[in-house]
């Protein structure tokens, strides 16, 4: 496969959609990002990396971090996490509170905010420093030692974090957090604030295409758990748009309100696309279209 040629064709296809949608404005630091940007990268399972557009420009990973925190918890032997969070799509917005009460403080899945807070809580218990553990892991897997948190984004989110605080307190009232709410929120906001490029994210997510093997050939996850992370990405990684994403793209994918999406073609490659304009459900407009076109052109999807 000539990845570079495919990426160039996909980029030309997506270009007219760049600038459509809205940048996330509920986190003021993200509202300042120029909407007219687009980048896309592919990291194949043999270590080749290809890219187009703004593929080396860092952006805020936001909820894409949730896929890595889940993998890290499972890698630390945290399979019991599934007693505390489910594996079903929620059909609700990522920051919704409604299901939590009638489902007794157990979030539907690890990728809505409530579920991600439980996963971060578990990673904090397992490692003593959830957000630093994630940053170090991402540096190693991306091969980029300069990856960093963005303190302005973390501060902005802390200041406007009432909804996440409500979710965390509500789950704490059901006994579904082990650490104090402020600790969990702090690590969650910091993990979301990590800045990475499409290149960094495609490389860092390669273990998901390699059935759990890290960049250095060591095993992060048993094959079965890599399958589970990919499966939950497919069914829950784009929130209440997961059905539409599966229908259009046909791949496990995890989006973030920074405008990035990581998608996995197991056994072949990991993709990352970024364009900050979001649809009403918080997924990049040009990004989803680009992934749709990529799988259409290549015929590579899980279906
Ligand atoms: O919890 C939040 O609001 C953000 N830190 C992450 C949200 C996010 O990226 C949801 N994704 N589409």
The complex's ipTM? 0.95
Domain ranges, residue 49: 3-298
CA 263/CA 202 separation, integer angstroms: 8
Band (pLDDT 50/70/90 cuts) for residue 287 is very high
41 belongs to a structural domain: yes
Number of domains in the chain: 1
- State the average pLDDT over residues 134-157: 97
What is the model's pTM? 0.97
Percentage of the chain exceeding pLDDT 70 = 100
* CATH at 274: 3.40.710.10
Please give all residues whose beta carbon lies within 6 A of any atom in ligand 1, as ranges.
62-63, 94-95, 113, 157, 164, 192, 255-257, 282
- What's the chain's average pLDDT? 96
303 belongs to a structural domain: no
Band (pLDDT 50/70/90 cuts) for residue 26 is confident
73 belongs to a structural domain: yes
Least confident of 71-75, 94-98, 111-115, 262-266: 94-98
- State the average pLDDT over residues 212-229: 96
Mutate to test the pocket of ligand 1, among 192, 254, 282 (most ligand atoms within 8 A of CB): 192
């Amino acid at each position: 496969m000539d990845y570079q040629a495919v990426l160039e064709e996909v980029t030309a296809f997506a270009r007219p959609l760049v600038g459509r949608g809205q940048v996330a404005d509920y986190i003021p630091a993200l509202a300042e990002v120029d909407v007219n940007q687009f980048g896309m990268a592919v990291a194949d399972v043999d270590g080749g990396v290809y890219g187009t557009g703004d593929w080396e420009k860092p952006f805020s990973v936001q909820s894409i971090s949730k896929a890595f925190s889940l993998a890290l918890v499972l890698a630390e032997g945290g399979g019991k996490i599934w007693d505390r969070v489910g594996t079903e799509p929620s059909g609700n917005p990522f920051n919704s509170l409604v299901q939590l009460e009638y489902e007794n403080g157990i979030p539907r899945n690890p990728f809505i905010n409530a579920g991600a807070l439980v996963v971060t809580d578990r990673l904090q218990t397992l490692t003593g420093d959830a957000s630093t553990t994630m940053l170090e892991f991402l540096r190693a897997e991306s091969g980029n030692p300069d990856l960093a948190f963005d303190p302005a984004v973390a501060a902005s989110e802390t200041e406007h974090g009432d909804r996440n605080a409500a979710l965390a307190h509500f789950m704490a009232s059901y006994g579904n957090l082990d650490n104090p709410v402020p600790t969990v929120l702090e690590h969650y906001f910091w993990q979301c604030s990590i800045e990475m490029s499409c290149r960094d994210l495609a490389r860092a997510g390669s273990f998901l295409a390699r059935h759990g093997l890290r960049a250095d050939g060591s095993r992060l996850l048993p094959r079965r758990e890599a399958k589970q992370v990919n499966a939950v990405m497919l069914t829950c990684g784009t929130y209440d748009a997961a059905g539409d994403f599966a229908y259009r793209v046909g791949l496990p994918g995890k989006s973030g309100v920074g405008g990035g999406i990581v998608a996995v073609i197991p056994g072949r490659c990991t993709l990352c696309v970024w364009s900050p304009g979001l649809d009403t459900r918080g997924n990049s407009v040009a990004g989803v279209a680009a992934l749709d076109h990529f799988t259409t052109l290549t015929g590579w999807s899980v279906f």
